[in-house]
Amino acid sequence: MILVLGGTAEARELAYRVPVLTSLAGRIREPDLPVGDVRVGGFGGVSGLVAWLQEHRPRAVVDATHPFAAQMSAHAVEACSAVGVPLLRLQRPGWVEGPGDRWRRVPSLEAAAEAVGDRTVLLTTGRQAVQPFLGLSRVVLRAIERPDGIPDSWVCVLGRPPWSLEDELSQIAEHGIEALVTKDSGGPAAPKLEAARELGLEVIVVDRPPVLADVVVTTVEAAREWTLRFEDPG
């Protein structure tokens, strides 16, 4: 068995191409499930993941979590090292600023909240990353599920990505958006970035945490080829 720490489009695509067990954190009530075997729920920190690896003995682990799932990635590095299980990090390339873009890169969510100022902002960092922004009043939060404890002044737009360019332009116009906050999730060019470029909006981009794994690939095909080394010869 090969264990995939999932939750991303890359993890779902890998599950189509390689027989794996995909593990999902279970933070969304109705996740987009991959094909094949799936487990849902956390492991209980590094010690819990070590115990799981020792019990189930996967031949390898692919960490295909979101680029900002830093804690899970760190746990995977520590646990796999402790147990001696090969680990691969599959992480899509980051976004690159292009002509006409107005980006301001910041190192953290806290720095992003400070950079917003008193502007009306479209916040697309996810429902679990709202804490640093709670002191702001002019926020349009976009998320799959509404988080608890957000200010009454916030507008919450619920939905599952991807959003079309028309959706982005419409929401920006409807809510009078003056700036966009996003994490550098990477992957294909996002329509929200295209909309911001078209309208001349500043995009506050939160940089990714560092990659801790020793072996890193950026494509599903490269991850598939890596997993072939650990196929059961029987």
84-141 pLDDT tens trace: 999 999 999 999 999 999 999 999 999 999 999 999 999 999 888 999 999 999 999 9
| pLDDT value at residue 233 | 60
Report if residue 149 sits inside a domain: yes
Best CA proximity match to 62, nearest among 13, 9, 22:
22
Q: How confident is the model at residue 55 (pLDDT cuts 50, 70, 90)?
A: very high
Range of 189's domain? 103-206
Report if residue 118 sits inside a domain: yes
Residues 37 and 111 in one domain: no
Residues 143 and 198 in one domain: yes
Q: Is the confidence at residue 39, as pLDDT, over 80?
A: yes
Q: Is the confidence at residue 234, as pLDDT, over 60?
A: no
Q: How confident is the model at residue 48 (pLDDT cuts 50, 70, 90)?
A: very high
| pLDDT value at residue 144 | 87
| pLDDT value at residue 46 | 97
Residues 110 and 199 in one domain: yes
Residues 134 and 182 in one domain: yes
- Residue 23: which CATH number? 3.40.50.720
Q: Is the confidence at residue 22, as pLDDT, over 70?
A: yes
Residue predicted with more confidence, 187 or 43: 43
Note the pTM of the prediction, 2 decimals: 0.88
pLDDT tens profile 168-185: 999 999 999 999 999 999
Residues 121 and 149 in one domain: yes
Edge-to-edge order in the sheet of strand 155-158: 103-106, 202-206, 179-183, 121-123, 139-143, 155-158
Residues 28 and 61 in one domain: yes
Distance CA 43, CA 41 (A): 7
Whole-number percent of the chain with pLDDT over 90: 86
Q: Are strands 60-63 and 155-158 parallel, antiparallel or unpaired?
A: unpaired
Residues 134 and 147 in one domain: yes
Residues 10 and 78 in one domain: yes
Average pLDDT over residues 61-80: 96
Total structural domains within the chain? 2
Q: Is the confidence at residue 28, as pLDDT, over 70?
A: no
Q: Is the confidence at residue 189, as pLDDT, over 80?
A: no
Report if residue 98 sits inside a domain: no
Q: How many CA atoms lie within 13 A of 59 on its CB side?
A: 12
Is the N-terminal amide bond of 162 cis, ω within 30° of 0? yes
Average pLDDT over residues 143-151: 91
Report if residue 41 sits inside a domain: yes
Distance CA 87, CA 25 (A): 18
Report if residue 33 sits inside a domain: yes
Residues 69 and 12 in one domain: yes
Residues 109 and 168 in one domain: yes
Beta-ladder partners of 37:
21
Do residues 184 and 205 make contact, with C-beta atoms less than 8 angstroms apart?
yes
Report if residue 200 sits inside a domain: yes
Residues 78 and 138 in one domain: no
| pLDDT value at residue 132 | 96
Residue predicted with more confidence, 110 or 162: 110
| pLDDT value at residue 26 | 74
Beta-ladder partners of 216:
89
45: left (phi over 0), alpha (psi -120 to 50) or beta: left
Residues 132 and 82 in one domain: no
